Amino acid sequence: MPARFSPKPEMSLAPIRKITGRAVPVDGDDIDTDRIIPARYMRCVTFDGLGEFLFRDIRQTPEGKSKDHPIDQSKYQGATILVSGMNFGCGSSREHAPQAIVRAGFKAVIAGNFAEIFFGNSTTLGLPCVSAQPKDLQALTRLISQKPETEVEIDLEKLTVQAGPLSFPVTLKPSAQQGLLSGRYDAIADLLAHLPQIRAMAAKIPGPTLPA
């Protein structure tokens, strides 16, 4: 993947304020990262092509036959928002999970709440993960299964979701909200800006060393 920006602090990414698109449900709580991308598909040295294996084992049988998961149903084709339950993204720290989601064409996840490492990894990629109340998630899931063409809008400034007749609040960690709205969700440029101070700090904090 080519560099998205130059590592200079003044060159930030495009802000992400609103995500609009159709949504698809991935039912269940505790959707772990092994389910998002099974470990056997992580035998790779780039993230290219991971989108193909997103949710592989809940979408296909071991033999590769479709299980007719909503993601593969024609009525949800073109959806760009995932809707799921509690503790989404629990398990391993593999960035392969949000990478697979992004590379399969998704732009945001609405769930009950998120495992911490997954949340951070996703934010860094510009994949907003907003948390909603279970009753609102149920209503949204019902709506999109009945009317999959419904446009769902996530407003990261107001922290609301609008979908047809539905409107409900969502939550997002303030630093993630700030980062997404300002286009500084990938911290590398800001981190690099302080490298001289870091060098001074490193001199005072010894690291592990082999005796000479």
Partner 1 sequence: MGRTLFQKVWDRHAAGKLPDGSTQLFIGTHLIHEVTSPQAFGMLRDLGLKVAFPKRTFATVDHIVPTDHRVEPFQDTLADAMIKELRKNCADFGITFFDIPSGKQGIVHIVGPEQGITQPGTTIACGDSHTSTHGAFGAVAFGIGTSQVRDVLATQTMALSPLKVRKIEVRGKLGPGVYAKDIILHVIRTLGVNGGTGFAYEYAGPTIEGLSIEERMTICNMSIEGGARVGYVNPDEKTFEYLQGRPYCPKGKDWDAAVSEWKQVASDPDAHYDDVKVFDASEIRPTVTWGINPGQGIFIDEAIPSPDDLPVADRSSAQEALQFMKFKAGQKLAGQKIQVAFFGSCTNARVSDFVEASKFLKGRKVAPGIRAIAVPGSQGVSKICAEMGIDKIFRAAGFDWREAGCSMCLGMNPDQLVGDEICASSSNRNFKGRQGSPTGRTLLMSPVMVAAAAVTGEVSDARKVFAQT
Secondary structure of 43-69 in the HEC alphabet? CCCCCCCHHHHCCHHHHECCCCCECCC
CB of 187 to partner 1, least distance (A): 4
Q: Please identify which residue in the block is written with the tokens 């001074």.
A: 200
Instruction: Give the nearer residue to partner 1 in terms of CB position, either 1 or 146.
Output: 1
By CB under 8 A, the residues from 8 to 67 that bind partner 1 are 28-30, 32, 34-35, 38-40, 42-47, 57, 61-62
3-state DSSP assignment of residue 9: coil
Instruction: Give the nearer residue to partner 1 in terms of CB position, either 29 or 153.
Output: 29
| In contact, 51 and 104? CB cutoff 8 Å | yes
CB of 71 to partner 1, least distance (A): 16
User: Applying CB under 8 A, which of residues 15, 51, 91, 164 lies at the interface with partner 1?
Assistant: 91
The two three-digit tokens of residue 150, written as one number: 């419904």
By CB under 8 A, the residues from 130 to 169 that bind partner 1 are none
Q: Is 121 a binder of partner 1 (CB under 8 A)? A: yes
CB of 81 to partner 1, least distance (A): 21
Instruction: Give the nearer residue to partner 1 in terms of CB position, either 86 or 159.
Output: 86
CB of 149 to partner 1, least distance (A): 27
Q: Which helix (H) or strand (E) holds 111?
A: strand 108-111
Secondary structure of 80-94 in the HEC alphabet? CEEECCCCECECCCC
CB of 107 to partner 1, least distance (A): 18
Q: Please identify which residue in the block is written with the tokens 């945001």.
A: 108
Among 76, 74, 71, 43, residue whose Cα is nearest residue 57: 71
Residue span 162-201 as binding mask against partner 1, x where in contact by CB under 8 A, dash where not: -----------xxxx-xx--x-xxxxx-xxx-xx-xxx-x
